[in-house]
């Protein structure tokens, strides 16, 4: 899956980085953060391989990747900051419930949103840091950070630290493996599948609890009231 995707993008990415140099790495990192489906886990081993070939220095690639990632994160942070809690609550009222015919599925309620925001207010730095090490969510986690108005310096610190701990090992693997850099993609496919499996299990558990709670609520409503 990942190998097929990177084969179709390799020439384009190489031309982009060759054209703009190290700033091209920052540009790719910025775009990767703004469009989460883009697999950064495939990009940085490629850049590391380019450092191995002598096109750029490895520290410059890592620094450019962190700068581009932080820039993308700050854009999403600004979106969340401008959105604010009031507009977010309004959006949840409009989009938080999915209706298909008579079926009504609550995707997220105001109470769940409040619980999530309370966790973010309490552990925001840790959440941002951990999310930087996960596929797909590492960019968009910046939006709730902006919504709760997380301290900007702390946000930048945790974002940069998490991005560095994600970018540096991937770039180093690409540098060490050289022409065999695509071997990293096989290892990362396993990592991705594990993450997706955990997410699916958590989602299944969440749906199961919602259904069970609804059934209990229905049974409670159907029971006749007690008389004295």
Integer Cα distance of 28 and 19 in angstroms: 12
Band (pLDDT 50/70/90 cuts) for residue 20 is confident
Distance of CA 110 to the CA centre of its chain: 23
Instruction: Note whether residue 202 is domain-resident.
Output: no
Predicted confidence (pLDDT) at residue 228 exceeds the cutoff of 60: no
Instruction: Note whether residue 143 is domain-resident.
Output: yes
Number of domains in the chain: 1
pTM strictly above 0.85: no
Instruction: Note whether residue 205 is domain-resident.
Output: no
Instruction: Note whether residue 68 is domain-resident.
Output: yes
For the chain, what is the mean pLDDT? 75
Predicted confidence (pLDDT) at residue 6 exceeds the cutoff of 60: no
Question: For position 136, what pLDDT does the model report?
Answer: 66
Instruction: Note whether residue 195 is domain-resident.
Output: no
Predicted confidence (pLDDT) at residue 78 exceeds the cutoff of 90: yes
Question: For position 156, what pLDDT does the model report?
Answer: 94
Angle at 84 between CA 80 and CA 87, to 5 degrees: 110
Question: For position 125, what pLDDT does the model report?
Answer: 86
The segment with the largest mean pLDDT, out of 16-25, 165-174, 182-191, is 165-174
Instruction: Note whether residue 225 is domain-resident.
Output: no
Instruction: Note whether residue 219 is domain-resident.
Output: no
Predicted confidence (pLDDT) at residue 225 exceeds the cutoff of 60: no
Residue range of the domain that includes 132:
2-182
Band (pLDDT 50/70/90 cuts) for residue 100 is low
Angle at 166 between CA 162 and CA 167, to 5 degrees: 115
Q: Tell me the pLDDT tens digit for each residue of 138-170.
A: 777 888 888 888 899 999 999 999 999 988 988
Higher-confidence residue: 18 or 2?
A: 18
Q: How far apart are the first and last CA of the chain?
A: 66
Q: Pinpoint the alpha helices (H) of the chain.
A: 2-20, 22-34, 40-52, 58-95, 110-131, 137-140, 142-147, 152-177, 183-222
The segment with the largest mean pLDDT, out of 156-170, 175-189, 200-214, is 156-170
Rg (CA), the chain: 22
Consecutive H or E run containing 56: none
**Distances, alpha carbon 1 to alpha carbons 34, 185, 190, 192, in Å:** 22, 9, 11, 11
Question: For position 124, what pLDDT does the model report?
Answer: 82
Instruction: Note whether residue 36 is domain-resident.
Output: yes
**Distances, alpha carbon 164 to alpha carbons 113, 160, 180, 209, in Å:** 30, 6, 23, 37
Question: For position 64, what pLDDT does the model report?
Answer: 92
Q: What are phi and psi of 113, to 5 degrees?
A: -60, -45
Q: Tell me the pLDDT tens digit for each residue of 112-132.
A: 677 778 878 888 888 888 888
Angle at 115 between CA 110 and CA 117, to 5 degrees: 90
């Amino acid at each position: 899956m990942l190998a097929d995707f990177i084969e179709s993008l390799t020439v384009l990415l190489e031309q982009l980085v060759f054209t703009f140099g190290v700033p091209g790495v920052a540009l790719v990192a910025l775009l990767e953060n703004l469009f989460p489906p883009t697999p950064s886990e495939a990009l940085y081993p490629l850049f590391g391989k380019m450092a191995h070939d002598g096109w750029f220095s490895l520290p410059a690639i890592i620094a450019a990747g962190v700068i581009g990632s932080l820039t993308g994160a700050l854009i999403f942070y600004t979106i969340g900051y401008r959105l604010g809690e009031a507009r977010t609550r309004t959006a949840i009222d409009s989009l938080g419930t999915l209706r298909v015919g008579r079926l009504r599925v609550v995707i997220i309620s105001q109470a769940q949103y409040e619980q999530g925001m309370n966790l973010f207010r309490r552990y925001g730095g840790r959440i941002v840091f951990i999310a930087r090490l996960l596929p797909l969510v590492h960019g968009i986690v910046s939006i709730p950070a902006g919504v709760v108005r997380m301290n900007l310096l702390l946000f930048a610190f945790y974002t940069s630290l998490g991005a560095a701990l994600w970018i540096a090992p991937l770039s180093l693997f690409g540098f060490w493996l050289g022409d065999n850099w695509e071997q990293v993609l096989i290892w990362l496919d396993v990592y991705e599948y594990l993450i997706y499996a955990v997410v699916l299990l958590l989602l299944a558990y969440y749906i199961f609890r919602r259904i069970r709670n609804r059934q209990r609520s229905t049974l409670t409503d159907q029971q006749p009231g007690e008389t004295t």
